Amino acid sequence: MATKTNDKAVAGKRRVIIDNDGCDVFLCEGSSYEQFTALRFAGLAGTGATTVFYTPQSVGLNRFTHNTRVGTVITDGETVFARNIAPALIARGTDCFEYAIRFCRAHELEIFFGMRMNDTHDAGRHYNLDHNALKREHPECLLGTKENRPRHGAWTALNYLCAPVRDMAFRLLEEACRNYDLDGLHLDFFRHPVFFPNPAGGGHASAAETAAMTGLMRDIRAMARHEGEKRGRPILLSTRVPDSVPYALFLGLDLQTWLSEGLVDLLCTSSYLQLNGWEYSAGLGHTYGVPVYPSLDETRLRDETANRLRTEAPGMRARCANAFAAGCDGVLLFNYIFDAAKDTPERYRLIGELGDDSNFPPGPKRYFASVRGVGSVAGGAPDHLPHQQIPTLNPGAPIEANPAANIPIFVGAHNGGPAQARLWLEGAAEFELLLDGKSIGRAHGPEAALPLQGNLAGRHVLTVRAQRPVKVLDAAIFVDEA
């Protein structure tokens, strides 16, 4: 029996969304329900997780690992992965999404069917493009060719101005609504975010391009409402989009129209990029009464230490605290549980902490001036830096104190326990550090830590002053409250 998890009361309780990107079909060593759920699901039982987005490997908007008749199923030998249990599951009358639903119903979790709206993994070595019927039969719907690649995005990206492309996206989502006991649809517009010729060429999406995507969103909303009415239970719509209205509109995604017309029930923002503070996303969604869930993906920073410090539990705890302090309704943890046999227990404990209550619990936190740095989109996308409104400091994008550098840092939660300002510099240069204009001491690189006093929750500016030019590689505030 389906649990009634998608009424209005849930919006206030929905706090931790787990986005399972669907690779478990290729990683699972067996095809039983127990083997499948042991990989990415079992550890969620009893944690603070409230919702699961499950994305069957939606490669190239046609190839999937669930039992689809609108699209085609990925069979053995078509990927770089050693295994693929999708055909075996379907032969037994089930599939990966049925397994996901079964687990979520057993543990009273919401379950959404996720779809990458323009996945382009088939441009590389991961998947065989020859098996994609849509792209094989409609090469005119591609944004480029192998020989004539677009300026931005992969050449296998689909052009949503083409009716067959919009029709395919619509029918795939309609099929999911009709075939599965789901609570909603999650439309991922950030894997990957090039949909039209103008942005692919470096220009702003045209009115016709933007209208085409908005028209599709209206059709999807009407379909989901119709299918929900047929079964007597609503089907929600979630979208993952850039956290910038102007940048999204540049790509052809008219977020304000979508929100003002009630086309979206959950607004999930960011992915490869974070362009604004989380209060921007919260304000955007709440203006239209839509709950907001920032997507806290892997950082993809190339510096190993910088990446590790941000993605370990104290770094993730701080990222979540910042999202809640900014007014967001919850967080989306994308691909956070990759393999239960390899993931550390701290990842599951963090999910439990997040689900406790509205006050983020104490625990060590690492607040960085910038988590994602400059950012870059896998598969390529038009330049986002003109829309970048928050710091990008990290070892890959250092700043120079000559003679001073101001570094904003937001601390989402701190109960007044021990805290330090942490600086990483190039070389052993000496410097003075100020917090909000007040000197807190002198130190020298390449790594320095200076104690901080008081309750630090809120916005701060660290200022590095030096008598000679100093390159600042990274900056953070560490809090060690128990």
Q: What is the CATH number of the domain that holds 201?
A: 3.20.20.80
Same domain? For 98 and 165 the reply is yes
Give pLDDT, residue 391.
96
Same domain? For 328 and 468 the reply is no
Give pLDDT, residue 348.
84
Residue 98 located in a structural domain: yes
Same domain? For 332 and 409 the reply is no
Give pLDDT, residue 350.
86
Residue 388 located in a structural domain: no
Domain count, the chain: 2
Sign of the four-CA dihedral 53, 370, 320, 329: negative
Give pLDDT, residue 384.
95
Residue 249 located in a structural domain: yes
Same domain? For 464 and 330 the reply is no
Same domain? For 173 and 70 the reply is yes
Do 231 and 3 contact (CB within 8 A), yes or no? no
Do 334 and 268 contact (CB within 8 A), yes or no? no
Tell me how far the alpha carbon of residue 24 is from its chain's centroid: 18
Same domain? For 27 and 145 the reply is yes
Give pLDDT, residue 349.
84
Cβ neighbours of 180 (radius 10 Å): 18
CATH number at residue 409: 2.60.120.10
Residue 391 located in a structural domain: no
Listed in sequence order, the residues at least 6 apart from 74 whose beta carbon sits closer than 8 Å to its beta carbon are 57, 59, 63, 64, 65, 84, 86, 127, 131
**Residue span of the structural domain in which 109 resides:** 11-363
Burial environment of residue 384 by CB neighbours within 10 A (0 to 12, 13 to 18, 19 or more) = buried
- Helix 304-311 to helix 313-325 angle (10° resolution) is 60
Residue 321 located in a structural domain: yes
Residue 389 located in a structural domain: no
Residue 435 located in a structural domain: yes
Q: pLDDT per residue over 285-324, tens digit each?
A: 999 999 999 999 989 999 999 999 999 989 999 999 999 9
Same domain? For 346 and 409 the reply is no
Based on DSSP, count helices (H) and strands (E) in the chain, helices before strands.
15, 19
Give pLDDT, residue 357.
58
Alpha-carbon distance 283 to 328, whole Å?
Answer: 9
Alpha-carbon distance 168 to 185, whole Å?
Answer: 15
Residue 384 located in a structural domain: no
Give the C-alpha distances (Å, rounded to integers) separating 27 from 23, 105, 153, 281, 385.
Answer: 6, 23, 28, 34, 36
Same domain? For 318 and 403 the reply is no
Same domain? For 218 and 165 the reply is yes
Same domain? For 320 and 444 the reply is no
Same domain? For 462 and 335 the reply is no
Same domain? For 437 and 304 the reply is no
Mean pLDDT by 10 residues, the chain (482 residues): 39 83 90 94 90 92 94 79 89 97 97 96 76 92 95 96 98 98 97 95 98 98 98 97 98 98 98 95 98 94 95 93 95 84 77 72 91 90 96 97 97 92 95 97 96 95 96 97 68
Burial environment of residue 466 by CB neighbours within 10 A (0 to 12, 13 to 18, 19 or more) = buried
